[in-house]
Structure 1
Amino acid sequence: MAEKTTLGLPGKSSSYGQVGQAGASTGHIVGQTGKSVPVRVEGLNRIVAIAAGLKHSLALRGDGTLWAWGYNNGQLGNGGSDSRNGPAQVTGLSGVNRIEVSCNHNLALVGNKVKAWGFNATGQIDDNSTINRHTPVDTQGIWTGRVSQAAVG
């Protein structure tokens, strides 16, 4: 994968820090607004993929680690529920090949297995529950076996 410049997302609201601007590191950021031009996300380098959900963003580094920021109802994958406007490493993941982001949950392809975390009210994490997952978990069902690509909707 070619290296990409790490950018925030222009024109998107940043009420939860999902644009990745410097400042307060947790919680809802009062008065934070979207940007009309791309901004650099501080604290990240060697980014090979970036993706955005409704109120959160993910960045995949070339070393296979995954970083997240923005609103957090589990989607940041750091074990807590505090929102962040700067990147923090997703807990327990290494060797990530691909990422997919939905509004409120994420998938990561690690080898040929799919990990998922975030909002899970209707079972979208595919872990045989409807419990929000604040760290990545193994998916069940159709995701078992050899997987080369995953998508969310």
Structure 2
Amino acid sequence: MKSNKPLTLIIVDDDYDDRELLKFLFNQNEKFELIGCFDSGEDVLEEIINKKNIPDILLLDMYMPIMTGIDVVMKLEYSAVAPEMNIFIISTIINIIEQDKLLHNPYITFLKKPVSLVEINDLPGLILESLHMENNTKI
């Protein structure tokens, strides 16, 4: 996957500080264009399914109140509005049982949620590597 055009990105995380840090991180990287940032699964589903604002990448927190990242993905799959959208689910807790629910979808990747500054700075590179793209920018 090579392109000079930035990858469009939507971030979903219920934690304000995490959301703001991720927004800052991806806004500093020329490989990404942040087109939305939400604090709930319901809001991002409205944006993607109803408004048809479909990003190249959805960066989704796993554990949020009311609707988990898995719930969001299952509703997106059911809607079939964006079957080839790349979804990165991030969590500090790796739950194999939850991951197994989505093994059938090759567009879903689970990543450990960054907790240190080094891990946070590496997140865009991990996403690009997963998409087999070149990463030559870091903040």
Question: What TM-score bracket applies, with the shorter chain setting the length?
Answer: under 0.3
* TM norm structure 1: 0.24
More strand by share: 1
* TM norm structure 2: 0.25
